Amino acid sequence: MIRGRRFVLAALLALACGGCSSPDEIVVAISTDLALPKDFDVLQVQVFKSGGGGFNQAYLRLGEPDADAQLPATIGFYSSNSGGESIRIRVSARVKDALGAVRIVREAVTTIPENRVALLTLPLNFLCDGSGESAGNDVENTLCGDDQTCVAGACVSNKIDSSTLPDYSAGDVYGGGDGDCFDVTTCFKEATAAEVDAAACTIAGDGGAPRNVALETVAGDGVCDGDGDDRRCLVALDAASDDGFRVEEDGRIQLPPEVCKQMANGKIAAVLTAPAVAVLTAPATDCAQKTAGLPTCGPWLTSGSEEP
């Protein structure tokens, strides 16, 4: 298993209810498959409450030594009335400053859970690049309708039933709780280009053995293995995820349809695959399977680890 430096859970902010006797809270986990500050360097978090009021904060200089925040990051919102309040949460990836261009926006409309702490994961991922634009201090959703949000390039309902969300656990956000991260460059060093069935947007699996899957980008988005003209830049997809890929019953790997659209329009050069192990307790020489709870290694982590 490729291990990154250990890092600690870093809560950006908690809106405390003051004297709450029960944990009526939703923890929003924000991650990305891009590289910071190269691809974006500002995180904006907005929360709109029913009946007015809310929260709007930009976190600057992501990926720099003096960054306001590291990714993955968590932000907790507590209930002021024993849970049940409806909220709209919007997270955005901006460039350069708090009013800069918006690359990605992700939204969820949900409620504060009652008598527990729930985890809501809202990644800012490459396949949703171009999903928003700046409107001054606000952000407009330019790809999807008012009641939708972008997931892996597709517009889906932004409504989430908080009762279906898992309980919060640091291990589900921060590399199993031990500070592990996924080294994109190392894990795909010997990767091979897969033959993509463009009609179904699938690739061959490996007889049930776990695989890692990455997209080779054309414009240099993602984690790059150098600075020269011959560098290769990759976006690693999460396994068993709506934001990544799934293995079908016939053993083939189902990719998001947006992957094939972007291959056709020249934004993605190839889909790469490499062997993986399914657990974080693997030998140090092996790569664990990339999942939503295993963040990508890089200077944007709380550990301060360097980009591979």
pLDDT, tens digit only, all 308 positions of the chain? 222 222 222 333 333 333 444 578 899 999 999 999 999 999 999 999 876 668 899 999 999 999 999 999 999 988 767 778 899 999 999 999 999 999 999 999 999 999 999 999 999 999 999 999 999 889 999 999 999 999 999 999 999 999 999 999 988 998 876 678 999 999 999 898 999 999 999 999 988 899 999 999 999 999 999 887 788 999 999 999 999 999 999 999 999 999 999 999 999 999 999 999 866 555 555 799 999 999 999 999 865 444 33
Last residue within a domain, chosen from 143, 177, 211: 177
* Domain extent at residue 216: 184-275
Residue 18 lies in a domain: yes
Kindly report the pTM of this predicted structure.
Answer: 0.88
Residue 33 lies in a domain: yes
Q: For the chain, report the end-to-end CA distance as a whole number of angstroms.
A: 15
How many other C-beta atoms lie within 10 A of the C-beta of residue 252?
15
Residue 234 lies in a domain: yes
Specify whether 160 is located in the same domain as 223. Answer: no
Last residue within a domain, chosen from 177, 195, 218: 177
Residue 6 lies in a domain: no
Specify whether 139 is located in the same domain as 193. Answer: no
pLDDT at 254: 98
**In angstroms, what CA-CA distances link 62 with 59, 94, 180, 235?**
7, 10, 20, 18
Query: Number of structural domains, the chain?
Result: 2
Specify whether 220 is located in the same domain as 158. Answer: no
Specify whether 166 is located in the same domain as 197. Answer: no
Specify whether 97 is located in the same domain as 198. Answer: no
Distance of alpha carbon 40 from alpha carbon 306, whole angstroms: 16
Specify whether 36 is located in the same domain as 90. Answer: yes
How many other C-beta atoms lie within 10 A of the C-beta of residue 19?
5
Residue 160 lies in a domain: yes
Residue 3 lies in a domain: no
Residue 292 lies in a domain: no
